[in-house]
Chains A and B, each alone.
Chain A
Amino acid sequence: MLDLLTGFVGELRAAGLPVSTVEAIDAAAALCSTDLGDRAAVRASLSATLVKSARYLDAFDTAFDVYFGLRPPEAGSAAAAAQEAADAALVASALGGAVGTGTDAAGLGEALLQALLSDDPGLLAALARRAVRLLGGIEPGRPLGAAYYLYRVLRALDAERLRQRLRQAATGETDGLARRLAEEDLEGRFEQFRRALEAEIRRLLVADRGAAAVARALRRPLVEDADLTMATTAELAEIERALHPLARRLAVRLARRRRGSSGRLDVRRTLRAALSSGGVPVDPRFRRPHRSKPDIVLLCDISGSVATFARFTLQIVYALAAQFTRVQSFAFVDALDEVTGFFGPGADFAGGVRRLGDEARVVFFDGHSDYGRVFGQFASGHLGRLGPRTTVIVTGDARTNYRDPNPAALDQIARHSRALFWLNPERKGAWDSGDSVFGVYRPLCDGVFEVRTLRQLAAFVEQVALPAARPVRRPG
């Protein structure tokens, strides 16, 4: 057990989860008070001691399934044959001999439809095992991933048609609401079956290659390391959830009051408090120190070349604007338009994006980014928005399609604000290549940051708090 646990902890660490030695010891202690025959209990004990953030639960579950999955009976053994016979019998009896014997894809599909409609967990489990055995085509030693086998089984079962038939079954309900609930119910059951298939495939792969190898193949980057510019929809949703606390933190960092100063003496309240101690002012009261509100201006490139990243920066805009009123945001492609109102308090994100597409005038000429023109537009029309407490954050790749970069305008913006930061979604190596004019803008900024992942964004948030990154400027 101890070897298994240390192997498991090693795998978690390799997947990027921070697991300290103390926590590993706790896990071992927890297992001593756990019924080891109960997988769910073991899972609960390990997750409570080893995982300390909901963000890591998915990665934990994957690794747990691989390391602590039920081992299938050895291929060719009596136990394996017995289980196979039992499964086959169960499937055949469900079909009642109506459509084949349940050894081909059509028969399995039919049995599956019945099992899903009647919500029979025993039959579903048997079907998952049968389907993987008969349709997966898993051969020992072939270096193919679990995702491939899952795709293969689902295609053989004709999952799309199956789901359609499930939806049809739900239309039996006359009431719109009831139909909707029934549909969602069936969809949920199908999703469970899909997971059962996945688990079964992993089980077989683990038996073939060993837990460590399978776990390595299944490792995915954690949310904070997922590449923002190439994230899948599911990853984006996860990233967006993690973003809100971070945006709030950024705003707090930028607004942080000076340390050490606790405000001026409040004479009135001090004298009032002194009354209860016989007129002796033992308890001096101070005015609350003034907490400045975060004053942020965001300039976001939303052109096609940074589309995914733009969605992410708009999420930052949204998260900031929902909590703080003094956040002004502008979007641009080759023209600049204010979008503050679209994402203000009370607005929802999807609606904001829609309004951005419908109403914002961000395209002037041909829909290719023109940073020089945009900065010029801001410098001539919006300099009044900036003040000695304003932080300006520009997000974009500085690819200005070989047009005039107009650094003088950006310099003017920098001079009128407290600090100017630039977040660039491109790899450092790609900066200044091709039509990127980042090298021109870079010296004008107080800080430039490569932001491709949440972790890098967090690092930026940490860094803007450092005094060195916040020089005091005077408009010149």
Chain B
Amino acid sequence: MDYPFSDPAAVAAALRDRGYLADDHIAQVVFLATRLGKPVLVEGPAGVGKTELGKALAGALGRRLIRLQCYEGLDEAKALYEWNYRKQLLRLQADRGRAWEEVEGDIFTEDFLLTRPLLEAIRSPEPVVLLVDEVDRVEVETEALLLEVLAEFQVSIPELGTVVASSRPAVVLTSNNTRELSEALKRRCLFLHLGYPTVEREKEILLARVPGLPGALAEQVAGLVRSLRHLPLRKPPSVSESIDWARTLLALGVERLDARAAVGTLHVVLKHQPDIEKAAADLEPPGEG
């Protein structure tokens, strides 16, 4: 069997080409996932690039991305497959007069199957990347559904039998950790915790994602965002928000970030009014403003 990447450095380089800056840890875990053929469970606060990693991986591997967005109430019919009963009904009406045994064999065939993301990922003739986004949002019952797919790469459909993957999809699951996932699911995955990046890495990310951003400004934004994360805020600023901030400052023509410019644009980084007030008071002490 040939592997897509020769070593973790190759992973990092391929992801970098897709605009995703992976540190050594991320590169190593993604590399392991491709070697061991295991899903990666990416966990961390919102907006640190969990979903981006899945997308970038698809790009780096040159594969199609199939995305399953999870939500409360997601069920088999939306995640796996569904019978197209309208088409089946039409067929029954068109076939009026034929014996039931014949018809039954006809209407439970692949022509009448509506594939949903999970089944699609497994049936695809060429390998794909399956991104299961925000897996912590589904109920425990639905999680069990994922298990069969992720562990065996197969799906049982009572009328058709078991569909086995013709190619192994690379799987990335993301979780915001709003609830504890089941042990069984975690056991089958490689675990990758994405926290907030270091100042140096955040600066690199900013420079990569915001073309034309001066290096000094990137450093200031990265430093200030770290400083904000130390405050007791309801929602600390994420990487995607610091990117937005850098874009805003660039568009406003700010060349050097001072307290006034920072406070004036805080609403880009912080999304709760109490947070904005708290940060503004902290950045602009009464004596200095």
Contact = CB atoms under 8 A, between A and B. Distances in A.
Interface string A166-190: 0000000001111011001100100
Contact of B32 (A20, A23, A34, A177): A34
B46 to A, nearest CB: 13
B267 interface: no
Nearest to A351: B274
A147 interface: no
A458 to B, nearest CB: 9
Interface in B183-229: 183, 186-187, 189-193, 199, 220, 223-224, 226-227
Interface in B7-54: 7-8, 24-25, 28-29, 31-32, 35-36, 38, 40-41, 43-44
B278 A45 contact: no
Contact of A282 (B89, B177, B186): B89
A162 B3 CA distance: 52
B251 to A, nearest CB: 20
B110 interface: no
B85 interface: yes
B152 interface: no
Contact of A245 (B180, B191, B192, B224): B180
A70 interface: no
Contacts of A57: 193
Given A40-B24, A181-B220, A245-B177, A54 B193 contact: yes
B24 A30 contact: no
Interface in A243-302: 245, 248-249, 276-278, 280, 282-283
Q: Which of B24, B28, B179 has the most CB of A within 10 A?
A: B28
Contacts of B178: 245, 248
B283 interface: yes
Nearest to B93: A278
Nearest to B190: A48
Interface residues of B, number: 52
A177 B257 contact: yes
Given A20-B187, A181-B227, A175 B258 contact: yes
A350 interface: yes
Contacts of A18: 183
Nearest to B28: A44
B190 A346 contact: no
A33 interface: yes
Nearest to A54: B193
Interface string A13-51: 000001010110010011001110000110111011101
B38 A26 contact: yes
A41 B28 contact: yes
Nearest to B185: A52
Contact of A41 (B24, B86, B274): B24
A348 B274 CA distance: 7
Contacts of A43: 25
Contacts of B274: 346-348, 351
Contacts of B180: 53, 245
B234 interface: yes
Contact of A34 (B28, B38, B183, B193): B28
A277 B192 CA distance: 47
B232 interface: yes
Contacts of A54: 43-44, 177, 193
A45 B28 contact: yes
A44 B24 contact: yes
Nearest to B24: A40
A48 B29 contact: yes
Nearest to A47: B191
B43 A185 contact: no
Contacts of A180: 227, 283
Contacts of A324: none
Contacts of A53: 180, 186, 191
A347 B234 CA distance: 9
Nearest to B181: A52
A219 to B, nearest CB: 21
Nearest to B220: A181
A291 B257 CA distance: 49
Q: Which of A181, A276, A282 has the most CB of B within 10 A?
A: A181
Contacts of B38: 26
B36 A30 contact: yes
B262 interface: yes
Q: Which of A44, A185, A245, A350 has the most CB of B within 10 A?
A: A44
A177 B28 CA distance: 37
A48 B191 contact: yes
A212 to B, nearest CB: 25
A346 B235 CA distance: 12
Nearest to A240: B232
B273 interface: yes
A431 interface: no
A161 B274 CA distance: 36
A68 interface: no
B288 interface: yes
B186 A176 contact: no
B191 A33 contact: no
B38 to A, nearest CB: 7
A41 B28 CA distance: 6
20 contacts: A22-B187, A26-B36, A26-B38, A33-B32, A34-B32, A41-B24, A44-B25, A45-B28, A48-B28, A48-B190, A49-B191, A52-B189, A176-B285, A177-B257, A177-B258, A180-B227, A181-B223, A184-B230, A185-B199, A282-B85
Q: Give the 6 A-B CB pairs with smallest separation, nearest first.
A: A44-B28, A52-B186, A181-B223, A33-B35, A48-B190, A48-B29
Given A35-B7, A283-B85, 9 more contacts: A26-B38, A30-B32, A57-B193, A176-B259, A177-B257, A177-B262, A245-B179, A248-B178, A348-B278
Interface of A: 18, 20, 22-23, 26, 29-30, 33-35, 40-41, 43-45, 47-49, 51-54, 57, 175-178, 180-181, 184-185, 188, 245, 248-249, 276-278, 280, 282-283, 346-351
Interface of B: 7-8, 24-25, 28-29, 31-32, 35-36, 38, 40-41, 43-44, 85-86, 89, 93, 177-180, 183, 186-187, 189-193, 199, 220, 223-224, 226-227, 230, 232, 234, 257-259, 262, 272-275, 278, 283, 285, 288
